[in-house]
Every structure is written in structure tokens, then in C-alpha cells.
């Protein structure tokens, strides 16, 4: 059997953020327990001699990549836009050990897009980044699909 299969692993990270200039309560610094689902697609390996026989990717490898590119960067951090209010960012950085300054408003939509860019070039040959799903709260999430952006 060598079908195309999609494989997904869920990750979590605990992050504060702030939406400067927003006209709702998210303009305050607050935080979320984010849940990230990373979905890859590829052919299932059919080679009994290979330890990875029957796999699209070893879940251990997927975990290592996402941990390095995303979780280690954003977990237990505060993520803010560097586009404006540079003085605040400087104060943030002095006061907090881990401020992630990004080039965009850190909404759920923009975060999931940034994550897609960070992961796209880290995957082994033949494996495609299919989609990402990012829960910001227990009942709201954003999704990036490769097929929507090709």
C-alpha cells in the first residue's frame, strides 16, 4: 500500500499577546493556551527493511521540527507587533525575559500564517505541509491551508 495519507500532531503552548490599536478587550495584554495542529501529507513508506516502514513521517521527527521552529520560540512568551510603539517594546524587553517581536499584528490568523512560513522549508523531501489549525480559545480557531494559497 502506498497511498497518500495526511498525518497530524497536536501541540500546545502558553502565550501572552496584545493587539495594539484593536477596539475590543484584546487591546489589553492577556493570554491563551494555544493548541496547534500540524498536518503533513505524503506517501506512506513501503519498505520492510526501513525502520520507518509504514509511515509518512516518524511522529518523533515531526515533533522535533515543530518544537524547534515554533514551540521553543513562542511558549511562555509575550508576542507583540514591532510595527509601532517601539518604546513599549524596549520596556517590555527590559521587564520580561522573553518578548517575541513580530512583523505583524499577532492575531490568530497572522500567527498561523507565520507558523506556515516557519515550517515550510523544514520538512523532509517528499512531505508537504498540508495545513495548520490554531486554537486561540476553546471555541475559536484559524486555519491555513496550502491549497488556499497556491
Distance, in Å, from the CA atom of 2 to the CA atom of 14, rounded to the nearest integer, reads 38
The reply to whether 121 sits near its own copies by the rule CB under 8 A is no
Pinpoint the alpha helices (H) of the chain: 59-66, 72-74, 86-95, 108-120
Q: Which of 66, 69, 73, 106 binds its own copies (CB under 8 A)?
A: 106
**Whether residue 85 lies in the annotated active site:** no
**Is residue 59 a contact residue for its own copies (CB under 8 A)?**
yes
Least distance from C-beta 141 to its own copies, angstroms? 5
Catalytic residue flag (residue 121): no
CA distance linking residue 39 with residue 36, whole number of Å: 10
- Please answer whether residues 144 and 116 qualify as being in contact, where contact means their C-beta atoms are separated by less than 8 angstroms: yes
| Degrees to nearest 5, angle at CA 56 with 37 and 75 | 30
Q: How far is the CB of 22 from its own copies (least distance, A)?
A: 5
136 assigned to active site: yes
In the complex, the smallest distance separating the C-beta of residue 24 from its own copies, rounded to whole angstroms, is 6
Task: Considering the candidates 108, 121, 136, 150, report the single residue annotated as catalytic.
Answer: 136
DSSP 61-97: HHHHHHIIIIIHHHTTEEEEESSS-HHHHHHHHHH-S
Interface with its own copies: number of residues (CB under 8 A): 80
Residue 119 makes contact with its own copies by CB under 8 A: no
The residues in 1-40 that bind its own copies, with binding defined as CB under 8 A, are 1, 3-12, 14-19, 21-33, 35, 39
Looking up cell 522549508 gives 121
Mask for 126-145, x = binds its own copies (CB under 8 A): -----------xxxxxxxxx
> What residues act catalytically?
26, 76, 136
Amino acid at each position: 500500500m502506498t497511498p497518500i495519507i495526511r498525518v497530524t500532531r497536536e501541540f500546545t503552548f502558553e502565550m501572552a499577546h496584545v493587539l495594539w490599536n484593536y477596539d475590543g478587550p484584546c487591546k489589553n495584554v492577556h493570554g491563551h493556551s494555544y493548541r496547534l495542529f500540524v498536518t503533513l501529507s505524503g506517501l506512506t513508506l513501503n519498505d520492510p527493511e526501513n525502520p520507518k516502514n509504514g509511515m509518512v513521517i516518524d511522529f518523533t521527527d515531526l515533533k522535533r521540527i515543530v518544537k524547534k521552529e515554533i514551540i521553543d520560540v513562542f511558549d511562555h512568551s509575550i508576542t507583540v507587533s514591532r510595527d509601532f510603539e517601539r518604546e513599549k517594546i524596549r520596556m517590555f524587553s527590559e521587564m520580561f525575559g522573553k518578548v517575541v517581536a513580530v512583523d505583524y499584528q499577532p492575531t490568530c490568523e497572522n500567527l498561523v500564517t507565520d507558523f506556515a512560513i516557519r515550517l515550510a522549508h523544514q520538512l523532509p523531501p517528499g512531505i508537504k505541509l498540508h495545513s495548520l489549525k490554531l486554537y486561540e480559545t476553546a471555541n475559536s480557531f484559524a486555519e491555513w491551508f496550502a491549497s488556499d494559497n497556491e
